[in-house]
Amino acid sequence: MTDTDERVKHFLTTQDWSVDELTGLLELADQLKADPLNDSLRGKSVALLFLNPSMRTRTSFQVGAQQMGAIAVVLAPGQDAWGVEFAPGVVMDGDAEEHIAEVAGVLSRYVDLIGLRAFPKFRDWSHDRTDSVIKALAQHSTVPVINMETIVHPCQELALMQTLRGRFGDIAGRKMVLTWTWHPRPLNTAVANSALLIGTRFGADVTLLCPSEEYLLDPQFMDAAKANAEASGGSLQVSHDIESAYDGAEIVYAKSWGALPYYGHPEEEWRLRQHNKHFIVDEAKMALTNNGVFSHCLPLRRNVKATDGVMDADYCLALDEAENRLHVQKALMMTLAGAK
Ligand code: CP
């Protein structure tokens, strides 16, 4: 939870939204998938601030806004817009030309919604784990803020859930494996944190499969997922054994992430990482599942994180999940803008 104006409903993490609210978003997303065009946001606007690269998030928000009559303004602070300082009380004699207090204040007067992508800096996890950048935006914004990926990726969670509901109806009681997968360098834990949160929230029996204890996710997400599972009737287990984790799974969700004890020290992390190329998702592992589906948030390096055979299989839902980003974000924009 964040210390923001409680009169403004933000979308910073799905944990701030009830299961009923999330289900409402997913039902609206299904309606928008069937009937994509409407005028519900005519005259409205959304500012999309990207501190990091994006293909899917940027395109789906822009197209989604346009399909409902709104305009989207894309800004890359530090590149095509002034660099922004997010910390309070700083003597701003570095690179940033303006403070988030003014950026949020000005944008709140121009637009109806503000989205932000701000990956962690990969220097100090004790700082990055507080998600202070998007919280600073929400604190100073008088319009709803949408998390487009920080240390969680809640829009991706919604898209994953729309995809799984489309395939299974209900994921309660189904075995879902969140598997760490191989990648040549340490990546953000956001999508892994998010998959853990949303799977347990909707009652799946989630197994977190990772090479060793060093790859466990931050306790704030492990604990939240355990609490989610208790509330939903699902479960959360940790495994380092590939065969037993895949055995009987109906959902395999893959992501690579960095080992938090070595955060900011990629050379040291490599000493651990280099021994785990066999975590790649391949056809042999998928054959252990119970006719399981596979998905990934994308982008994905083929034959590094998952084989061509997995990516091209009928059971791969990665493109459906990417498409569903469009529908869930439209539902989110309509809801936050009070247009439903
Ligand atoms: N999955 C996802 O957020 O993709 P982009 O990084 O391309 O936006």
Residue 6, in any domain of the structure: no
Same domain for 331 and 317?
Answer: no
Same domain for 92 and 175?
Answer: no
Residue 208 pLDDT > 60: yes
198 lines ligand 1 (CB under 6 A): no
CA 89 to ligand 1 center in whole angstroms: 32
Residue 7, in any domain of the structure: no
Q: Which range of residues forms the domain containing residue 237?
A: 156-321
* Ligand 1 atom closest to Cα of residue 149: 3
56 lines ligand 1 (CB under 6 A): yes
The per-residue pLDDT for 7 is 84
Same domain for 70 and 142?
Answer: yes
Mean per-residue pLDDT for 170-186?
A: 97
Residue 45, in any domain of the structure: yes
CA 318 to ligand 1 center in whole angstroms: 12
Same domain for 221 and 274?
Answer: yes
Q: In CATH, what number is assigned to the domain containing residue 25?
A: 3.40.50.1370
**Residue 255 backbone dihedrals phi, psi, to 5 degrees:** -160, 145
Same domain for 299 and 170?
Answer: yes
The string of pLDDT tens digits covering residues 241-260 is: 999 999 999 999 999 999 99
Mean per-residue pLDDT for 161-178?
A: 98
Q: How many domains does the chain have?
A: 2
Residue 86, in any domain of the structure: yes
Candidate of 146, 149, 296, 319 to mutate for ligand 1, largest count of ligand atoms within 8 Å of Cβ = 149
pTM of the model: 0.97
- Interface confidence, given as ipTM, is 0.99
Distance between CA 61 and CA 76 in Å, rounded? 15
Same domain for 189 and 219?
Answer: yes
Query: Strands 175-180, 145-147: parallel, antiparallel or unpaired by DSSP?
Result: unpaired
Return the higher-pLDDT residue of 4 and 84.
Answer: 84
Same domain for 94 and 162?
Answer: no
Average pLDDT of every residue of the chain: 97
Same domain for 178 and 303?
Answer: yes
* Ligand 1 atom closest to Cα of residue 322: 1
Residue type at position 34: A
Distance between CA 48 and CA 56 in Å, rounded? 13
Which of 304, 175, 305, 311 is closest to 245 using CA atoms? 175
Same domain for 128 and 203?
Answer: no
